[in-house]
């Protein structure tokens, strides 16, 4: 069995921040319509299926969020397979490495991508930037 080390105080603080400003939800039956307005949503599987991650600010490492259905790392790092930018004026850059480094793809406000494999980007997103405006 895999042991997961946590630092309770740090974890609680991180979780508090994520619930307030990021929001992580794991619905039983995910769907694109479950993505709340004002957020970028990522799903574990293609076609907006599986567990969903909702976020709005920039994040340096999606690996801080555990996700048991992401079999590669058991976190959201290298896991997302579909995306929905449900914002009206925020463009997101999605990086393949932590700390917003490495290669990236962009998703404009209102855009969806049902299969990140079409970008050759399946299970590789590890960090993101949120940039005001429709282009980034």
Q: Which stretch binds Ca ion (CB under 5 A): 21-29, 36-44, 103-111, 128-136?
A: 36-44
Residue 15: CB minimum distance to Ca ion, A = 23
Taking the complex as a whole, how short is the minimal distance between the CB of residue 122 and Ca ion, in angstroms? 6
Q: Alpha-carbon distance 67 to 128, whole Å?
A: 18
**Contacts of 23 by beta carbon, 8 Å cutoff, 6+ apart:** 36, 39, 54, 55, 56
Binding of Ca ion by 123 (CB under 5 A) = yes
* Dihedrals phi, psi of 110, to nearest 5 degrees: 85, -10
Per-residue DSSP letter, 18: I
- Using CA atoms, how far residue 94 sits from 1, 2, 6, 29, 30, in Å, is 32, 29, 26, 25, 21
Applying the rule CB under 5 A, the residues between 77 and 96 that interact with Ca ion are: 81
Interior/surface letters 75-100, b for 16+ CB within 10 angstroms, e for the rest: bbbbbbbbbbbbbeebbbbbbeebeb
* Among the residue ranges 9-17, 37-45, 53-61, 82-90, the one whose residues contact Ca ion (CB under 5 A): 37-45
Q: Which residue has the tokens 């930037």?
A: 129
How far apart are CB 67 and Ca ion at their closest, in Å? 10
From the list 10-18, 53-61, 73-81, 86-94, the region that binds Ca ion by CB under 5 A is 73-81
Which listed range, 9-17, 27-35, 41-49, 126-134, lies at the site for Ca ion (CB under 5 A)?
A: 41-49
Query: Smaller CB distance to Ca ion: residue 51 or 91?
Result: 51
Q: Does 129 bind Ca ion (CB under 5 A)?
A: no
| Contact footprint for Ca ion (CB under 5 A) | 44, 81, 123
């Amino acid at each position: 069995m895999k042991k997961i080390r946590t630092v309770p105080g740090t974890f609680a603080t991180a979780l508090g921040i994520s619930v307030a400003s990021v929001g992580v939800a794991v619905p039983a039956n995910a769907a694109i319509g479950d993505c709340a307005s004002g957020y970028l949503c990522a799903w574990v599987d293609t076609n907006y299926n599986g567990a969903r991650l909702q976020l709005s600010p920039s994040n340096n490492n999606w690996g801080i969020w555990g996700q048991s259905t992401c079999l590669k790392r058991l976190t959201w790092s290298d896991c997302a397979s579909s995306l929905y930018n449900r914002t009206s004026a925020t463009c997101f850059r999605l990086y393949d490495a932590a700390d917003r480094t490495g290669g990236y793809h962009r998703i404009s406000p209102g855009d969806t991508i049902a299969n990140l494999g079409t970008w050759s980007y399946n299970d590789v997103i590890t960090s993101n930037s949120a940039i005001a405006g429709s282009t980034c």
